[in-house]
Amino acid sequence: MNLQEAVRIALRGLRANRLRSVLTMLGIIIGVAAVILLVAIGNGVQSSVNEKIQPLANLITIVPSAGNVPGGAPPKDLVDADVAALQEPAMSHDIAAVIPATSGKALTETDSYRFRATVIGSTDRWLDLNNGDMAAGSFFDDAQVRSTARVVVLGPSVASYLFGNDPAAALSHTVRINRQTFRVIGVMQSVGEPGDSVAVMPLNTARRYIFGGGDKVNQIIVQASQASAVPAAEDDVIRVLSDRHKIKDTANRDFEVQSLRSRLDTFNQILRILTLFTAAVAAISLFVGAIGVLNIMLVSVTERTREIGIRKAIGATRRAILEQFLIESLVLAGLGGFIGIGVGVGLSILGSILAPALGPTFATFAPAVTIPSVVLSFAISLVIGLVAGGYPANRAARLRPIEALRYQ
């Protein structure tokens, strides 16, 4: 008997019990669709978060940290000379840019309103490195940094609190910070709190008028040439600064190096585990579907005992009977898997269409169907067909024709 004929006999068997076949398939359909959809949602969340964080992933932040060895040398501050050393191109080819920053809370006021903002003094590259954008006006430039210009760029929360919701309304007005007057030259776009409650000005302007003189910085931002170069750049930073601060024991280190990259990796790892876990939960419904197929195949074999006897009497071999029922359950599970893939992919696409309607948080969220999850869940449904069909098919094949013919 050839395969084509076996498939035709199997299909006729399934069609004969259409409702039952569809209900059995439903178990597999739901299982496969759930696996595909949940994996797609997990991937969607991951890529949506990565998309937001990726531009910042190549940033390394260095802050001073108090030495934790009692009786040791007092910790050295981070100073301009440290920044200059890191900026030395010979020191590292994994570092693309280095900018210093000082910061502190200060009262920012107009005649009518006051707001406690985080004042940041830095260079003209600050906006660029922090992946910010302007809502109105412009960021200060290199000339203004050199001339210690009394200009300030406001975060959107500060601007709207002091000048109202239109960012342009703040331009060319002055604000008093620490009782000193600064001209507002720009308002930044929102990046979310606490990043929106800032007032950014040139480094030396901040030192002269707000934080007092000196060459201290309380943050150095290092941009690695690319996200994958972050670990190498971190090593270079630690080497250069340890050398300058004369630190031989890592326990005595008086600065701390942080990067988003490692946190992003941790986050991704957690999310991957979570996705696999939810997929595993969905796979339970696939397992239940498999039991459904097994159950129906057993019923089908019992119901058709007499038919099996007839087929054997007119020359069907064990193998022919085995094939008939195995193909029947393979078609049942395979077709279920196929439809399940369609439903899962369809729901994922529907999700990516509907997600933006849920609000700006979901704007970049789109469930991403992955090929491995599709291939794997289809393969699993075929395995289900093979395993759940194997036992009943084998039972059918082993039936003795005399007894099968006598079965009522």
Partner 1 sequence: MIQLENVSKVYRMGKVEVPALSGVDLTIDDGELVAIMGPSGSGKTTLMNILGCLDVPTSGRYLLDGTDASRLSDNRLAKIRSRKIGFIFQSFNLVARTSAVRNVELPLVYAGVHARRNPARHALAQVGLSDREKFMPNELSGGQQQRVAIARALINDPTLLLADEPTGNLDTASSAEILKLLGALNDAGRTVVIITHEEEVAGFAKRVVRMRDGRIESDRVQRSRTEVTA
Q: Which stretch binds partner 1 (CB under 8 A): 78-86, 103-111, 186-194, 304-312?
A: 304-312
Asked if 352 and 393 count as a contact pair (C-beta separation under 8 A), the reply is no
Position 354 contacts partner 1 (CB under 8 A): no
Position 311 contacts partner 1 (CB under 8 A): yes
The nearer residue to partner 1, 142 or 303, going by C-beta atoms, is 303
- Of positions 7, 79, 310, 383, contacts partner 1 by CB under 8 A: 310
Burial of 195 (0-12, 13-18, 19+ CB in 10 A): middle
Question: What is the Cα–Cα distance from 5 to 288, expressed in whole angstroms?
Answer: 30
Q: Is 175 left (phi over 0), alpha (psi -120 to 50) or beta?
A: beta
Position 320 contacts partner 1 (CB under 8 A): yes
Position 313 contacts partner 1 (CB under 8 A): yes
H helix or E strand, kind and range, residue 193: none
Choose among 342, 338, 325: nearest CA to 380: 338
For residue 195, report the phi and psi dihedrals to the nearest 5 degrees. Answer: -65, -15
DSSP 8-state assignment for residue 74: P
Position 84 contacts partner 1 (CB under 8 A): no
The nearer residue to partner 1, 207 or 311, going by C-beta atoms, is 311
Choose among 17, 27, 13: nearest CA to 292: 27
Half-sphere exposure of 138 (CA within 13 A, CB side): 5
Question: What is the Cα–Cα distance from 149 to 307, expressed in whole angstroms?
Answer: 96
The nearer residue to partner 1, 310 or 343, going by C-beta atoms, is 310
In the shown chain, the binding pattern of residues 9 to 28 toward partner 1, with x for contact by CB under 8 A and - for none, equals x--x---x------------
Q: Provide the minimum distance between the beta carbon of 306 and partner 1 in the complex, in angstroms, as a whole number.
A: 7
Q: Which stretch binds partner 1 (CB under 8 A): 114-122, 235-243, 317-325, 341-349?
A: 317-325
Position 312 contacts partner 1 (CB under 8 A): yes
Position 147 contacts partner 1 (CB under 8 A): no
Q: Which stretch binds partner 1 (CB under 8 A): 170-178, 211-219, 272-280, 312-320?
A: 312-320
Question: What is the Cα–Cα distance from 205 to 178, expressed in whole angstroms?
Answer: 12
Position 401 contacts partner 1 (CB under 8 A): yes
Question: What is the Cα–Cα distance from 242 to 30, expressed in whole angstroms?
Answer: 58
- Of positions 3, 19, 66, 314, contacts partner 1 by CB under 8 A: 314
Task: Return residues touching partner 1 (CB under 8 A).
Answer: 1-2, 5, 9, 12, 16, 306-307, 309-320, 401-402, 405
